[in-house]
Amino acid sequence: MKVSVYNKSGEDTGKKVDLHKDFFGVEPSDHAIYLDVKQFLANQRHGKSKTKERAEITGSTRKIKRQKGTGTARAGSIKSPLFRGGGRAFGPRPRSYSFKLNKKVKQLARLSALSYKAKDKGIMVLEDFSMEAPKTSEFFDIRKNLKIDEKKSLLVLPEPNKNIYMSSRNLEKSKVITVSELNTYDIMNASVVVFLESSLNVLQTSAN
């Protein structure tokens, strides 16, 4: 599949690049995408919620009333979850929500996501450009010229670029990452994935 290369003014440069079928034309696996996105979101969870159970509550251990003859239910401790100020039954504890996912499943998920985007014409290729200093208005103009300012976009760089990153971070619908950071969640979450020419070459020449 061939796609046009645009410059930052939004003009077609006349150049075409080939989207390699090994990256943008695989048979998609919905289940692999589901597992990879699930793992990504699970890894974002801190898992630091904590409540005190009855053994951790500070309070008297004396029996608060006699066993029989009160006409009410038995009660042996003020720290019971049934009483105000008592411990919580089966409350949350610090834990990790992460889980293992095989490397090949993650690779298949990422390639499946890229293939879906290519099939839906959600892949754009942008001519390499640089910014002399961080400037959000300049980055916004580039998105507007490409007619993606109203869409969620993911710009993929070949390597970290501080000026481009800082220019984009205040824009709600824009995200900038490098090829090495490319993941299934970000691909699926974006309406348009924009590759710089050099980043596309890095991706397609790398091993799966």
Question: What average pLDDT does range 64-83 have in this prediction?
Answer: 92
**Three-state SS at 45:** coil
H or E, element range at 105: helix 103-119
- What confidence tier does 1 reach under pLDDT thresholds 50, 70, 90? confident
How is 116-140 classified by DSSP, letter by letter?
Answer: HHHHTT-EEEE-----SS--HHHHH
pLDDT score of 111 more than 60? yes
Q: What is the pTM of this model?
A: 0.82
pLDDT of residue 207: 52
Q: Which tokens is 166 given?
A: 């800082």
- Find tokens 């450009």 and name the residue: 129
Structure tokens, 200: 């596309």
Question: Is residue 90 in some structural domain?
Answer: no
Average pLDDT, the chain: 93
Q: What is residue 5's three-state secondary structure? A: strand
Q: Is residue 37 part of a domain?
A: no
* Rounded Cα gap, residues 29 and 32, in angstroms: 5
> What's the full length of the chain, in residues?
208
The pLDDT value recorded for residue 2 is 87
pLDDT tens-digit map of 127-164: 999 899 999 999 999 999 999 999 999 999 999 999 99
Residue 30 has φ and ψ, to the nearest 5°, of: -65, -35
In a domain, 74, yes or no: no
In 3D space, the residue among 101, 122, 88, 148 whose CA is nearest the CA of residue 1 turns out to be 122
Number of structural domains (the chain) is: 1
Taking the C-alpha atoms of residue 16 and residue 161, their distance in angstroms, rounded to an integer, is 25
Look up residue 100 and give its DSSP letter.
-
Identify whether 186 is part of a domain.
yes
pLDDT class for 120, splitting at 50, 70, 90? very high
Lowest mean pLDDT among 35-39, 58-62, 91-95: 58-62
164-204 pLDDT, tens digit per residue, is 999 999 999 999 999 999 999 999 999 999 999 999 989 98
CA separation for the pair 107, 33 (Å, rounded): 10
- With a cut of 50, say whether residue 26 has pLDDT above it: yes
Predicted pLDDT of residue 204: 85
According to the model, what pLDDT value does residue 208 have? Answer: 47
149 falls within a domain = yes
Task: For residue 120, give its domain range.
Answer: 2-29+102-205
Q: Is residue 97 part of a domain?
A: no
